[in-house]
Chain A
Amino acid sequence: MSNGARYVIGVDVGGTFTDVFFLDEANGQCDVAKVPSTRHDQAQGFIDGLSRRMADFAEISTVVHGTTVGTNALLERNGARTGIITTKGFRDVLEMRRRDRPRTWGLWGRFEPVVPRNLRLEVTERTLADGTVHTPVVLAEVETAARRLLEAGAQAVCIVFINAHANDENELAALEAVRAVWPNGYVDASARILPEIREFERTSTTTLNAYLQPVVGSYLNKLETALEAKDFGGQILIVQSNGGVMTVETAQALPVRTALSGPAAGVIASAYIAGAAGFANVITCDMGGTSFDVSLVAGGRSALAAQTSIDFGMVVRTPMIEMTTIGAGGGSIAWVDRGGLLRIGPESAGSDPGPVCYGLGNDRPTVTDANVVLGRINAARPIGGNLDALDVEAARAAIAAKVGEPLGIGVMEAGEAIIRVANSRMAGAIRLVSVERGHDPGKFAAMPFGGGGALHAGSLIKDVGLMSALVPRFPGINSALGCTIADMRHDFVRTVNGILDSLDLEQLDRSMSRLAQDGLDLLGRAGIEFADTHCLFELDMSYQGQTHTIDVPLEVTLKDKRTGITARAIQAAFEARYRQVYGRPLDGIAIRVLNLRVSAVGTRAKFDLALLAPGPECTMETARCGTRKVWVDGGWHEAAIFERLALPVGAMVPGPAVLEQPDATIFIEPDLAGEVDRFGNLILTRKNGG
């Protein structure tokens, strides 16, 4: 790395825009850029975005990337042609799922597995639940299967044997046999991807990983080549779904871990910005065109989920930032059902044709249309910059016809009704991640990002009873900013499946220590100078007889290649966690340990957020842009309009007011007030401190 390499750059490639955040580590200067995404070849938009501010790519030390290449490949089903080699009798595990259906009501489900049945081949082999090899794998059959898959045009292959989590001997032998005949590196085994009990979840995760390998792999290769062609000599890091980053090498081996890469980076940024601003507890709210994603950060830490479904039956089981998504975005369509009830979504106008006010052919009103009609969005200044102006009259007509008339109310009342019902759905999502998980919403702030979230944040404070809302200085590039501060993180899992009283603790300690050391070694090989490295240990536990487990963090550290874990410490940790999750622990029932989870974290140096703060040239006067009529609480109000980025530190803005900036609009309701903190964030609270 040359001495001139001083830029750390975060790049978030989304569906519509590629956002770039530039940090000059030498002088602490920050800059941002937003360019259209290039869907057919994301690398192009990526390079365009960087070129906006960087003449010489040799000056870049690190590029951290949140990518949707993997997510899109899964949603659009355009991953590689993939084969599966599995235990005799089990070729259909992927297709049989866990015997579910997409919706409770209605029996019209459909499911197409990513690997068709004729590319799922069986071989003679069997391991029992306790790890005993019942039938050794017949390698000649494995080799034949691999050749058949190649002939059928498979580009990637994975091996998934029943009970491989208990003993990977047969799988690894088969892996070697396949590698001997397979022409590329896209070969892997389930015990190496997810050595965890539950065959469907392991099969699905392993298969989707194989399915993504060639796609994500070739994208990253292309990106590296394109960067190198411009004399880039630094390092590329990829954001994982768990909010940590990994090297390109790891991403190519485990692309399934990028499934929620982009959104995860946004949450990481939120947690960091909120922490710096003095908010340890926030609920992030990312409002896009079709959805509203919320995620909880408590005590500065993001909640992680063990798995998610990308689509019906498409299960990815790897730790990821827990995100609750509802279909209530700016493009969500408002309609009145036959029972006379106002509904929002799940249908969405998306970005094309988009809301009625875009004038691109949609005539059904959306949440954005309501915001335009109510005067909260400035029709003369559309976000993103693809349109010159928004068609307010068309939006009014659509709301009047599709909502006002059926409900027997005026157009303004109808517009406000759309917002109220949309807000109540968003509030429901926030309650789901907070109240329903035992958190007191009064201790949390809403943290909106994305273009539209800040229009609704004020209402959410009141609907859910949140303490306040914190609008970051650049809501539209939050994920790109998050890329630059994400830590490196590697997760491991092993199934233990034993009763605590009879557990071989010596062996558990060895497993914990070995996985931790593997993780630390991986961090060491990344070639990054970390501020700190540490390991996190967790057990999935339950009372014997329960089928759902709870995650139990263990307060131990790795010392002299041992953690020194004891049964008593495990039991105490379990009971404490059980009390927290369900209430009263149960006496006299044996405790089961299902899985061991270990994470190795390398903390990357963070930049000072004060760099983002408004400069001394900012004053209330330069920020003020007059007033506009805004409809709220059943009547018109004269709202002050401000250029958000021009507001000085300490500025107090009482509602009603609208704050505009290139990538977002903020609405401050009449009974709320905003204050700009020392980082340039806007804090919304009730007037009179109420």
Chain B
Amino acid sequence: MIDPVTLAVLKGRLEQIADEMDATLFRSAFNPIIAEAHDASHGLYHAQSGATLVQGKSGLPIFVGAMSFAVKAVIEKAARDGDLADGDVYLFNDPYDGGTHLSDFKLVRPFYRGGAVFCYLASVGHWHDVGGNVPGNYNPVATESFQEGMLIPPVKLYVKGELRQDIIDILQANSRQPRSLYGDLNGQINALDLGARRLGALLDEYGDGIVDDALGELQARAARLMAANIADLPDGTYSCDDWLDNDGIADEPLKIALDLTVRGDRMTLDFSRSADACAGPVNIARSTAVASCYVVIKHIFTDVPANAGVLEPIEIILPEGSLLSATAPKPVGGYTETILRIIDVVFGAVAQIAPERTNGCAYGTINALSLAGHRADGSRWVMFSFFGGGHGGHPEGDGLNHANAPISTATIPPVEILEAAYPVMFTRWALRPDSGGPGRHRGGLGACYEIELLEQKADVFLFGERGKFAPPGVLGGRPGALNIFTYDQDDGEHTPPLKSKMVGMKIRRGQRLHLNSPGGGGYGRPFARSPDAVARDVALGYVTAEAAARDYGVVLNGDGSVDAKATGALRKDAGQ
């Protein structure tokens, strides 16, 4: 068996390889979704099972779990064809096999040592445009994946080290942003090359056997650590339900339901009571659902390492025909919204047994907003961005204001960069008062974004959620504010019929879009919040005086200080 010291050393060395692959792509990528939002990931995967061995720390968290399915798909394809060779690189974006959605292109490369596959290296990145009906591929009314973009099954981009330009030609011909696509693809190839060089050097230094032992042992230890964490939780079944607004087609809420069972050191996440597959694009593939469970487990148990061992003591139940186990050609473009809801229900269930490990739910929607049009000179422009919201209150304090989604580590582009690139003017970029869910520890605040069009006209697309069901709090904490989107028309301000989703709405010069994103859910009962903390919230404008009285039972004097007597009476009346 490998000695514990060498193991600790190799852990760091292997992680550094994956990290360096991430960094290479982030720096050289063409599209901001990879470069700024870090919507990409790299890692090392098991030669036979495709299981995640090592994952970069800075990539998109959701890919950590999803990539093993992608590698598995390639392993199966290669086994069927029987022609795997050193120097091959597979490329594909099939979401039913490899998880997530069509925008995410996976490159998978077998890494050979002594004539046999030692492991796989893989890279995934979110490309700017992969065809389909909507620029940027967030098509809220898709009913088949064909409307979302091109679908490429695992094909060889490189055969024994020879690049197949034909494949690149096909990809470029199917994108509105062929240059960006080419730049990102190049970045991914470079990242894999670099990973292969670094891994080769490490194997030369330590020997293949030792590194192989280390990879196996790291996985076993992650599994043991996770099992020990589960064993600390009380046995029983704990349920939590939440809802998606709609699927973008029919205005019907869709249930995401979890029954979490703890038995000794094993855990079951049973999603059987969730809605059936729907017509619109909020379906997700089974691999995506598993990957999102991994993300939330990592958020709750932050000490477990990022490899497949984490899921070993956990059984995930996803029945056939579910919204959470979609098959081709069900549309899956809006997968982000559904997995955010999976994360929310796991937090909600764990709150019932381990309050010290959980938090109020985060804002829970990616709010993919795009504006598209043509400039006076005829050139096409597409502004596409994801927006932020509040995080939930947590055991250590109030939720973070204006943060990124739990499934990503993305940063938002600066207003000045957006304004320099597109004919828009932001008229507001501010925190949204009263949006944080009331609680002993308040949810973080969402934001108010207001965008004015400077060109003649533009089409607007929105893919969001939480327009009808607000992000819940935990342990008596109250929900954050709903996601509210409105847009100006000649006759005034309008709300989309489906609240959080909208396609091809037209606006004119001088008209504005108003996006008010949700805050996070509260942690603990709001009446347990210290009146001084509430007074401070009011003084700083995080909470209005009305909400202080209504939600927290805190009455303030004219100078902003706490009226202790009135507060005591109000809190008493409320039976707190």
- Listed in ascending order, the chain A residues whose CB lies under 8 Å from chain B are 89-93, 95-101, 103-111, 116-118, 126, 128-130, 134, 162-163, 165, 197-201, 337-343, 407, 409, 416-417, 420-421, 424-425, 428, 431-432, 436, 497, 543, 545-548, 581-584, 586, 589
Contact = CB atoms under 8 A, between A and B. Distances in A.
A420 B5 contact: yes
Interface stretch (B20-28, B256-264, B489-497): B20-28
Contact of A545 (B57, B183, B401, B412): B183
Give me the 5 closest cross-chain CB pairs, A-B, nearest first.
Answer: A99-B388, A339-B225, A339-B221, A129-B419, A99-B412
B417 interface: yes
Interface string B53-81: 00001100100000000000000000000
B124 to A, nearest CB: 16
Given A97-B402, A111-B400, A338-B228, A545 B298 contact: no
Contact of B414 (A105, A198, A548, A583): A198
Nearest to A550: B27
Given A110-B396, A111-B400, 10 more contacts: A96-B431, A107-B362, A165-B416, A424-B9, A428-B16, A432-B16, A436-B16, A547-B413, A548-B28, A586-B182
Interface in B504-562: 539-542
A644 B102 CA distance: 64
A416 B61 CA distance: 35
Contacts of A98: 411-412, 414
A79 to B, nearest CB: 18
B374 interface: no
B359 A128 contact: no
Contacts of B16: 428, 431-432, 436
B180 interface: yes
B289 interface: no
A420 B180 CA distance: 44
Contacts of A100: 403-404, 409, 411
Contacts of B152: none
Contacts of A118: 539-541
Contacts of B304: 339
Interface stretch (B91-99, B103-111, B130-138, B421-429): B421-429
Given A105-B302, A163-B416, A428 B13 contact: yes
Given A99-B410, A108-B395, A582 B11 contact: no
B235 interface: no
B165 to A, nearest CB: 15
A586 B431 CA distance: 41
B12 interface: yes
B190 A89 contact: no
A107 B394 contact: yes
B411 A99 contact: yes
Nearest to B220: A339
Nearest to B430: A92
Choose among B26, B31, B412 the residue with the greatest number of A CB atoms under 10 Å from its CB: B412
B225 A338 contact: yes
Nearest to B23: A436
B41 to A, nearest CB: 11
Interface of B: 4-5, 7-9, 11-13, 16, 20, 23, 26-32, 35-36, 57-58, 61, 179-180, 182-183, 186, 190, 221-222, 224-225, 228-229, 298-299, 302-305, 359, 362, 387-388, 391-392, 394-398, 400-404, 406, 409-417, 419-420, 425-431, 447, 450, 454, 539-542
A99 B225 contact: no
A381 B15 CA distance: 39
Contacts of B409: 100-101, 104
B12 A89 contact: no
Contacts of A134: 425
Contacts of A409: 4
Nearest to A436: B20
A163 B103 CA distance: 33
A409 B4 CA distance: 10
B305 A339 contact: yes
A560 B211 CA distance: 62
14 contacts: A89-B450, A99-B388, A110-B400, A128-B419, A129-B419, A339-B304, A341-B7, A341-B8, A409-B4, A421-B5, A428-B12, A546-B29, A546-B183, A582-B190
B537 to A, nearest CB: 10
A412 to B, nearest CB: 13
A97 B539 CA distance: 21
Contact of B403 (A92, A101, A128, A198): A101
B12 A198 contact: no
A436 B359 CA distance: 37
Contacts of B401: 95-96, 111
A575 to B, nearest CB: 14
B447 A96 contact: yes
Nearest to A106: B302
Contacts of A582: 27-28, 190
B414 A99 contact: no
Contacts of B454: 128
Contacts of A343: 8
Given A98-B414, A99-B411, A128-B419, A117 B540 contact: yes
Contact of A163 (B23, B419, B429): B419
Contacts of B31: 545
A105 B299 contact: yes
A197 B8 CA distance: 43
Choose among A101, A110, A421 the residue with the greatest number of B CB atoms under 10 Å from its CB: A101
A335 B20 CA distance: 27
B417 A197 contact: yes
Choose among A89, A91, A339, A582 the residue with the greatest number of B CB atoms under 10 Å from its CB: A339
B400 A101 contact: yes
A198 B412 contact: no
B4 A128 contact: no
A425 B26 CA distance: 24
Nearest to B300: A106
Contacts of B404: 99-101
Contacts of B186: 584, 586
B415 A199 contact: yes
Contacts of A431: 16
Contacts of B431: 92, 95-96, 117
B26 A109 contact: no
B5 A417 contact: yes
A584 B182 CA distance: 13
Choose among A108, A134, A424 the residue with the greatest number of B CB atoms under 10 Å from its CB: A108
Contacts of B5: 342, 416-417, 420-421
A547 B418 CA distance: 11
Contacts of B541: 117-118
A416 B58 CA distance: 31
Contact of A105 (B13, B36, B298, B402): B298
A605 to B, nearest CB: 39
Nearest to B15: A428
A432 B282 CA distance: 40
A424 B431 CA distance: 43
A382 B414 CA distance: 51
A117 B542 contact: yes
Contacts of B447: 92, 96
A343 B5 CA distance: 10
Nearest to A110: B397
Contacts of A342: 4-5, 8
A128 B36 CA distance: 23
A35 B64 CA distance: 51
A108 B359 contact: yes
Contacts of B32: 547
A545 B420 contact: no
Contacts of A497: 420
A546 B16 CA distance: 25
B406 A91 contact: no
Given A117-B542, A340-B4, A548-B35, A104 B57 contact: yes
A543 B540 CA distance: 43
Given A342-B4, A420-B5, A545 B416 contact: no
